[in-house]
Structure 1
Amino acid sequence: MTRALSAAQRRVVEGADPVTGRLRGTEAQLAALVKRGLAFRHPRPPHDHFLTPAGHRIREEVPEAAPEPVPDAGVFAARVGGEVEPAGDGPARAREVHSAWQGLLELRRMTHADGAVDRPCDWERAHLVRAAALALEAAGHRPASGDRDGYRVRATPQPEAVAVYAPDTAALAACAATLERAGWQAGEYTEPRTRARYLLASPRRV
């Protein structure tokens, strides 16, 4: 499907906001993407254009698009815990996280048929680790970094599930409560070999 796009259209898709899917381009380019079902025009002013779930999938398939933002690439990336060079703390980071979370809620509202914001959207299901990490960081949980204890979100072999680790039982329970409020379902499990407790979390569908 990407081969059917012109080079200019591909650049518009690649340049979409990684969280909200907001597009920038000429009216002709945006109209062409709408016609292909890859974008939609928001009904409310200022009538911006956004990627549809199909458009997000196409964006992920574009070879030139980086699959995961890196901390020094100038693109927001939720902290999953254990980053070698984590983004700095402070008011600037807090504003970035808040903005990203609000953008994600808006994406939920726009892409769910009923306008719901209480459950994850397709983008989150395609980026499970980053989505869960954003929910945790936006709620004020501290990611593990260097010598500092904190949460760690990791991929698992199970479809639509991530593992969340925390320093202690109380922190793990707090992470579970945050994820459940964010539209995830989470249960505590124990690793057979290490006996470490962790959460297995997956996006709620209804």
Structure 2
Amino acid sequence: MTRPLTAAQRRLIEAADPGTGRLRGTEAQLTALVKRGLAFRHPRPPHDHFLTPAGHRAREARSEPQENEPQAPAPTGGVFTARVGGEPAPPAEGPSRTREVRSAWQGMLELRRMTNPDGSTDRPCAWERTHLVQAAALALEAAGHRPAGVTDGEDGYQVRDTPQPDAVAVYAPDATMLRACAETLEGAGWQAGEYTEPRTRRRYVLASPRRV
């Protein structure tokens, strides 16, 4: 079970720069946030610390009004997970889920800005290149596409691994949605093209992070 944040950790997160997510604190405090996945240390000098997408969500959650009734814990111990399609719906749905996804996407753009060598936000960063399925799914969900449900894979998108080390496959129930998913990924900095599986004749989008 994920340990709750200490009062000092909450203060650090709340005091982060609202635009960049830059953190200030002792080395021990910042290291503790890094270990929890709420902050990262910038690889270039002066090696400042910044909120990760999870850290941005933690700060946003602190600023939102608390509900009167207790909320169910997230299925991954409180860590946001983009929906890849075919999994059970997360506990948070509706406007609450929309806020989570929006915050996660904004945090991802900030992570791009801080970790891409040229500070660009128009192409995926190193984290996305090592978490291809989750990164593509976040881009799709943030754009408002509907993920497939757990019992019916024909009602929304599905993002899946491929034998290629730098690409994912995206499936959708019809050609219109498939093209829309490809356009979303292209707009989010991915290279995307439509292909047909030789055996099943099923159409899919093959997408990989753009490097330049």
Change (3 A) 1:154 1:23: farther
Which residue of 126, 131, 134 maps to 1:130?
134
The answer to whether residue 203 in structure 2 is matched with residue 201 in structure 1 is no
- In the alignment, the residues of structure 2 paired with residue 23 and residue 177 of structure 1 have an alpha-carbon distance, to the nearest angstrom, of 32
Does the 8 A contact of 1:154 with 1:164 survive in 2?
yes
Name the structure 2 match of 1:75: 79
What residue ranges of structure 1 are gaps of 5+ in the alignment? 1-11, 13-21, 53-69
The match for 2:41 among 36, 39, 55 is 39
Deviations 1:117-163 (A, max 9, x none): 00000000000000000000000000001346000000011011000
TM-score by length of 1: 0.69
Where does residue 88 of structure 2 map in the other structure?
84
**Aligned equivalent of 1:27:** 26
Is 1:144 the equivalent of 2:148? yes
Give the secondary structure class of the aligned counterpart of 1:83. Answer: coil
CA distance in 2, matches of 1:108, 1:117: 5
Contact residue 107 and residue 121 of structure 1 kept, 8 A = yes
Change (3 A) 1:99 1:170: same
1:114 to 118, 122, 143: 118
Length, aligned pairs only? 163
Deviation of the 1:72 alpha carbon: 4.5
> Which residue pairs with 2:60 in the alignment?
none
Deviation of the 1:42 alpha carbon: 10
Cα offset, 1:203, TM superposition: 0.1
List alignment gaps of at least 5 residues for structure 2. 1-8, 10-20, 33-39, 53-73
TM-score, length-normalised on structure 2? Answer: 0.67
